Amino acid sequence: MCDKVQPPQAMLSSTVSALFRKSTIAAEVRNLSSIAEIYPVELALVKGAILRRVIDFSGGRLCAREALSRLGIPDFPLLAGKDRMPHWPDSVVGSITHTTGYCAAVVAAYSNYLGIGIDAELIGRVDRELWTYIFTDREIDWLSDLTAEDQTTMATVLFSAKEAFFKCQYPITRKWLEFKDANLQITRNEFIVHIESHLLNREEELRGQFVLDGQLVITGIAYPYLVTA
């Protein structure tokens, strides 16, 4: 007699939550190969999508449900608007990411942050031919001084950090950004986003962190209530 296959479970992720300075709760699921058990109203958001998209979407929602439940908000269907951004509870900021073999979500109390963003990417997905489309001249100059191996890794870090920043700023600005709207600087395991004045009516610097986890780059950034340039 065969054992019954258990549905995938999201696990708390100290790797993701450690990317943030204030209290956050993160959950992740790895190597998801089938659609996770999420609410029908959530699955309806990807009706007609290809199977891989549905699997990744369900994994992200599964992680979000686990993280929200640990924040004291159980059984919350995470819907989306016309902009496809998740509708988090009013008291919460959150972010979801997924890439091949990995899904994660992070949540925090709105009293801690105005916005939050995470992103995960497989190292090597950003070909050099794409640099001129997604990186600023200063970022390209910095990458060009690195070894070939470091270029592969750090190009992925830059791309992922931009994606995390876009998610973080959107609830605040409601603006869809181009890749070159964010000019980044990397220092050790930290990245600094130089925010142009046209985004928030003032120039600022916002700091995030990244971690290398096997073949993954995971980035996280949050917008606190007080930011100093």
Architecture per CATH, domain 120-223, reads as Alpha-Beta Complex (3.90)
Average pLDDT score over residue span 76-89? 94
CA dihedral 153, 101, 159, 18 (to 10 degrees): -80
Question: What are the pLDDT digits (tens) for 199-220?
Answer: 666 567 899 999 999 999 999 9
pLDDT band at 1 (very low <50, low <70, confident <90, very high): very low
Question: What are the pLDDT digits (tens) for 87-119?
Answer: 999 999 999 999 999 999 999 999 999 999 999
Indicate the CATH number of 11-113 among 3.90.470.20, 3.90.1150.10, 1.10.443.10, 3.40.50.10860: 3.90.470.20
Q: Which of 136, 64, 69 is nearest to 106 (CA)?
A: 64
Question: What are the pLDDT digits (tens) for 127-138?
Answer: 999 999 999 999
pLDDT band at 228 (very low <50, low <70, confident <90, very high): very low
Give me the pLDDT at residue 3, please.
55
Kind and range of the H or E element at 159? helix 148-173
Q: Where in the chain is the domain with CATH 3.90.470.20?
A: 11-113, 120-223
